[in-house]
Copies of this chain bind each other. A is one copy, B any other.
Amino acid sequence: MTPTLSLRQVEAVAPDAAPDLTDMANAVRMLAVAGVEAAKSGHPGMPMGMADVATVLFTRVMRLDPSRPDWPDRDRFVLSAGHGSMLQYALHHLLGYADMPIEELKRFRQLGAKAAGHPEYGHALGIETTTGPLGQGITTAVGMALAERHLNARFGDALVDHRTYVIAGDGCLMEGISQEAIDLAGQLRLARLVVLWDDNGISIDGPTRLSTRTDQAARFAASDWAVETVDAYDHEAIEAALTRAQASDRPTLIACRSVIGYGAPTKAGTCGVHGAPLGAEEAQGAAQALGWDSPPFTVPDDIRDAWRAVAEAGRGHREAWERRLAAHPARADFQRVMAAEPEVAEALAAYRQELVATRPKMATRKASQLVLGVVNATTDLTVGGSADLTHSNLTQTKGMEVLDAGDYAGRYIHYGIREHAMAAVMNGLAVHGGIIPYGGTFLVFSDYARGAIRLSALMGVRVIHVLTHDSIGLGEDGPTHQPVEHLAMLRATPNLHVFRPADAVETAECWELALTDTATPSALCLSRQDLPTLRRDADFNRSAAGAYILRETAGPRDATLLATGSEVALAVEAAERLATEGVAVAVVSMPCWDLFARQPAANRALVLGAAPRIGVEAAVRFGWDRWLGDQGAFIGMEGFGASGPAADLYRHFGITVDAIMAAVRARVAHA
């Protein structure tokens, strides 16, 4: 299947014919080659191999309006094999996306270029989600396709009637997360999801037979997908498969038998063309083999016109949709949902007053469920779920119907035991728009979801992770289930709110912050064990400052205790008992470090105080020194936990009121 000059035999005899799909695909292909050559860096193999498939998809099937890349009812395209980014940039250029002129393609992979190394959400127009880490795109696409069905169930075909297309490579299908995606998509019968697999038999190390013998068609079929196989250069076959996919009642895999680096005279079909420029000679040879005689970055006008005509057709689809929207009785409601601004402040304020009045003793996971009861009754934007720990995470609230193939209007997703897919699907729900997703698992299993949590932070999307059982306080399940380093791990991640509320009031405050920050995902770390209500005031959302003085001293402080979550109550009790000894100890609750770090330095200094500081958290010290200062001490974990009842563990690891008191006394005596 090595390409030769014969690739363009037909056109060669009729050079003046109107541009056909092959011409249009070659424009994509050669722009990709040129971009990688200019950058001296990048991945030409995938764009060259899949240019025809992408061209058929974008010209014959997809509905996009490049002049309005955010049109809500557009089809979604996800380049799960994100290293092939030049494929997408070339398409965007040819379709006339405003931010992708030829100059940007020439600046591929340069600092600040729209044509970044991998497609980045929010960086260039029309990039639906950030890809590059393999398997994320296909799984995020499941979320997009699910969002479409959910909103369709609410608003009908007139307003919500689009499809989600994915190009995925062997890498995406080898990553475990893809299995979670496939299984979920089959379960949810996401018939509007189509995955085009770049089946080129090559991965970076060589032929895929080095590392896999899986029959992918059988694998997808096992999860109830429709499966098609096509020649990646047979335009009619590709279109026919896509047409059948549109009519399917199940998600569809289209295995596209392709040649990596299609057109490259000596490197096509080898791993050498995956991730390195072709080199001038090979690039020229490819042009020749493909019958492409324009210089790099140049596209003949007729081919350019043919691509622009596709864009025009897309504009027509968008305008027709806008007419439907304008006349639709649910117009205002649809626009409200797509704006996704939850109006929960009033209800949560009232609820916090109730909490201060009743001062319940409960686990913060339970407090979270009660807050969610208020939230889910107040706004219809939230879609919750859990990775098979519903009754532990307490993520489902009264009247919340299950969202599944039988009822896409439901608002609760059984994600199964698939933490990674849950996080990536939530990314898809969020970037699709119209939904605020939250999902639960144990804090320790945020490990499994790291890849997708990081992407939500990088993209800056509002996804809320409900991470319960947040310390040794979970007890008997032991060290495999007890997070000790996870707070640090999450806090180290840029643009991620890590909340660890101390009581029910703070839980409500943190939820409000998570729901209203549209550009930052949140991790709510919640206790399994009961905690007293410490707060006596609720008018002001004190968690918004990240840390605040929960208990101040009458006179000068002898020491300041800094604590989070379940350990704040220990700090308060220690402070109260020390007060009877005449030792003046303030207690600072720190539910969210990153918000505190953004406070003015003077405010931070006032909160932290000049007295010796002692941090208390049932986790490792890593990261705490920032707040403790040179004179600081820390009471927490020094290693992994153990299996046993929670109270025994706190004693065993020395995280007790007595230990705090002793540490304060030592500090005060020393000062």
Contact = CB atoms under 8 A, between A and B. Distances in A.
A586 B175 CA distance: 45
A118 B480 contact: yes
A39 interface: yes
A107 to B, nearest CB: 10
A90 B82 CA distance: 50
A176 B187 contact: no
For A131, A174, A418, A642, the residue with the greatest tally of chain B CB atoms inside 10 Å of its CB is: A174
A174 B218 contact: no
A417 B109 contact: no
Contacts of A170: 417
Nearest to A209: B187
A480 B130 contact: yes
A476 to B, nearest CB: 4
A420 B176 contact: yes
Contact of A179 (B39, B178, B392, B625): B178
A223 B476 CA distance: 37
Nearest to A139: B176
B214 A183 contact: yes
A457 B390 CA distance: 29
A485 interface: yes
Nearest to A486: B492
Interface string A119-140: 0100000000011111100000
B179 A211 contact: no
Interface in A191-213: 203-206, 208, 210-213
A178 B212 CA distance: 14
B205 A478 contact: no
Interface in A135-181: 135, 170-171, 174-180
B174 A416 contact: yes
A648 interface: yes
For A203, A218, A495, A625, the residue with the greatest tally of chain B CB atoms inside 10 Å of its CB is: A625
A112 interface: yes
A386 interface: yes
A111 B645 contact: yes
Given A458-B479, A492-B622, A211 B223 contact: no
A439 B224 CA distance: 35
A417 B491 CA distance: 28
Counting chain A residues whose Cβ lies within 8 A of the other chain, the interface size class is 35 or more
A626 interface: yes
A512 to B, nearest CB: 25
Given A133-B444, A204-B391, A652-B111, A620 B494 contact: yes
Interface in A46-104: 82-83
Contact of A481 (B110, B118, B182): B118
Interface string A410-422: 0000111111110
A455 interface: yes
A492 B623 contact: yes
Nearest to A181: B176
B118 A640 contact: no
Nearest to A275: B392
Contacts of A444: 133
Contacts of A117: 476-478, 480-481, 643
A481 B132 contact: yes
A205 B493 contact: no
Contacts of A130: 480
Interface string A579-609: 0000000000000000000000000000000
Interface of A: 39, 41-42, 82-83, 109-113, 116-118, 120, 130-135, 170-171, 174-180, 182-184, 186-187, 203-206, 208, 210-216, 218-219, 221-224, 386, 388-392, 402, 404, 414-421, 444-445, 447-448, 450-451, 454-455, 457-458, 475-481, 484-485, 488-489, 491-495, 620-623, 625-626, 629-630, 638-640, 642-645, 648-649, 652
17 contacts: A39-B476, A110-B648, A111-B645, A112-B644, A132-B477, A134-B417, A171-B417, A174-B388, A204-B389, A204-B392, A205-B386, A208-B416, A448-B450, A450-B450, A485-B489, A489-B492, A494-B638
